[in-house]
Structure 1
Amino acid sequence: MIQLEGRNPVHEAMKQGTVTLLKVERGSETEVKIKVILDVARKTGVPVQMMKKRAMERLSVTGRYQGIIGYAQTDAQWSLGKVLQETGRDLCVMILDEVQDPHNLGAIIRTGEGSGIDGIAIPKRGSAKLSETVHRVSMGGSLHVPVWQTNLYPAIKMLKDDGVRLIAIDSSGKKPYYDEDLTGAVAFVLGGESKGVNPTLMSKCDKAVHIPMMGKLESLNVSVAAAIVLYERVRQMAHKK
């Protein structure tokens, strides 16, 4: 069960039929999007609790609940092993090495869901965790994309044993990302906000590619870098067909 805060994440979860309970701040039920959500709740039998503002503020973790909080079951429960077994030759996952900002993690999950990835691996320590902020920023993407909090190295071994290529996205890469074949079974490895991909993890990768920078800055925000590479893969996959 996860707590979703804000109209858009709750609305997305309602469309997917995963919400089991709604809590709505009194006075907010007249707002257009909340009215739409409540209409769906009435039709589908989702219980609604009307709450005072102070009670909602106590419940909220993000402080940006926009008058509504939903509680949902997620369908993103597949293990890495099951994903490897079921997905086939076009599997795509991301390995995030200590991405600590929950807004970045949420944005990557949102982009990942939109681009069709099969899951995201994050370390048990030194990383942002799945939280209400992550769920809100992902705009419902966290309901669909498995996020595995795991020891990265056994996960990497499992991927490599299954024939998945590991491609690091790092400024040290010799080839630009668009000159690399990003199709087929691939795991993209991205480093955290300040350190990049650590050397030990880099040594496990089959390739390293970079995103060319035309200005004076050395790198992009990690969520932007993830979006660029994922949608280059989408482009290449479409062209390949």
Structure 2
Amino acid sequence: MTKQEISIITSVQNPRVKGWTQLLDKKGREKQGQFIIEGVHLVQEALTSGAAIDTLVYAGERQYELPAGMLEQAAALGIECLAVTESVLSKCTDTLTPQAVFAVLRKLHWEPANLLESAASPGLVVVIDGMQDPGNLGTIIRSADAVGATGILLGKGTVDLYNPKTVRSTMGSMFHLPIAQGDLQLVLPEAAAQGVAVITTSLQGESDCYAFDFRQPVWFVIGNEGQGVSPQVSALTTEHIRIPMQGRAESLNAAMAATVVLFEAMRQRM
């Protein structure tokens, strides 16, 4: 691909550019069924993981910043590759100093039924109830990926998975395991009926996380940063566990607490 062959989109008024810009907003993402990932690492992860990339967009003047073979790999997969100017790149991205590439993807196709299919096996599903901080959600997805969790279920009222900050915080882990969205009031009873232990953390937990048996099928519920798990969802859990602490801190950040529990689950399963 020579520089002379590249046709560069230069106007922020271009219809394609306007469509990409709308993906920075949740309403635009819902309307188009797409979302944006920014930066070399995320695009590479999406390419390697076989994510549903529709378009790869890069800064024509900074093509040299792309890893060797990235455009050729994308083209071989049938992905549209388009060059744009810096002004267009800045218009379509969420970061202050955008990297030289972003990609437009179709939203993930997973459904709660995909998680329930393996509920009877010793699966480990992370359930999110009303979490609001995109960084926390992204961190939990990374931790779930790191410990080999079998899936993630996002309940109503949780921050948008496709929020640019959430997407960046996952560091590509969102492409490594099933992530579904659904009504916890409907899905959790189905999981429990299949013999899954539906658990959550609580300062009044019956046992600590190191005594609980994570070798069984477990769905672990994590709540809102301030209010925790909602009373309605808490009533659907089968057991409350606690994280023992020797210091004077009263509690842990939601993402940190989730990570502690998930790595204990991995330790036991290993």
Which bin holds the TM-score, normalised by the shorter protein? 0.7 to 0.9
2:149 is paired with a residue whose SS is: coil
Alpha-carbon distance between aligned partners in 2 of 1:17 and 1:79, rounded to the nearest angstrom: 18
State the AA in 1 paired with 2:99. Q
After superposing on structure 2, the runs of 4+ consecutive aligned residues of structure 1 that deviate more than 6 Å are: none
Among 106, 115, 124, the residue aligned to 2:147: 115
1:9 alignment partner in structure 2: 42
Instruction: Give TM-score scaled by structure 2 length.
Output: 0.78
1:27 is paired with a residue whose SS is: helix
Q: How does 1:80-95 map to 2 (within 5 A)?
A: 80-86=112-118, 88-95=120-127
Q: Which deviates further from its counterpart, 48-57 or 12-21?
A: 12-21
State the AA in 2 paired with 1:182. F
Contact 1:93 1:117 in 2 (8 A): yes
Contact 1:124 1:150 in 2 (8 A): yes
1:166 is paired with a residue whose SS is: strand
Query: Shift of the alpha carbon at 1:204?
Result: 2.1
**Residue 145, structure 1, aligned to residue 166, structure 2:** no
Identity %: 29
Q: What are the superposed Cα offsets for residues 18-51 of structure 1, whole Å, 9 maximum, x if unpaired?
A: 33321112333222x5445335335545332111
Gaps of 5+ in 1: none
Instruction: Give TM-score scaled by structure 1 length.
Output: 0.86
Contact 2:110 2:180 in 1 (8 A): no
**Residue 47, structure 1, aligned to residue 80, structure 2:** yes
Gaps of 5+ in 2: 1-33
Query: Shift of the alpha carbon at 1:12?
Result: 0.5
Q: Which deviates further from its counterpart, 50-59 or 35-44?
A: 35-44
1:133 is paired with a residue whose SS is: helix
Contact 1:165 1:186 in 2 (8 A): yes
Contact 1:29 1:35 in 2 (8 A): no
Alpha-carbon distance between aligned partners in 2 of 1:44 and 1:150, rounded to the nearest angstrom: 31
2:255 alignment partner in structure 1: 223
Among 20, 24, 39, the residue aligned to 2:58: 24
Alpha-carbon distance between aligned partners in 2 of 1:64 and 1:143, rounded to the nearest angstrom: 24
Alpha-carbon distance between aligned partners in 2 of 1:162 and 1:101, rounded to the nearest angstrom: 31
Q: How does 1:1-241 map to 2 (within 5 A)?
A: 1-18=34-51, 19-31=53-65, 34-35=67-68, 37-41=70-74, 44=77, 46-63=79-96, 65-73=98-106, 76-86=108-118, 88-125=120-157, 127-131=158-162, 132-238=164-270
Contact 2:110 2:179 in 1 (8 A): no
Q: Which deviates further from its counterpart, 137-146 or 7-16?
A: 137-146
State the AA in 1 paired with 2:41. N
Higher Cα Rg, which structure: 2
Q: Which deviates further from its counterpart, 43-52 or 33-42?
A: 33-42
Q: What are the superposed Cα offsets for residues 74-128 of structure 1, whole Å, 9 maximum, x if unpaired?
A: 6x53322233224642122122121101111111112212222232222222x21
Alpha-carbon distance between aligned partners in 1 of 2:40 and 2:195, rounded to the nearest angstrom: 41
| Number of residue equivalences | 235
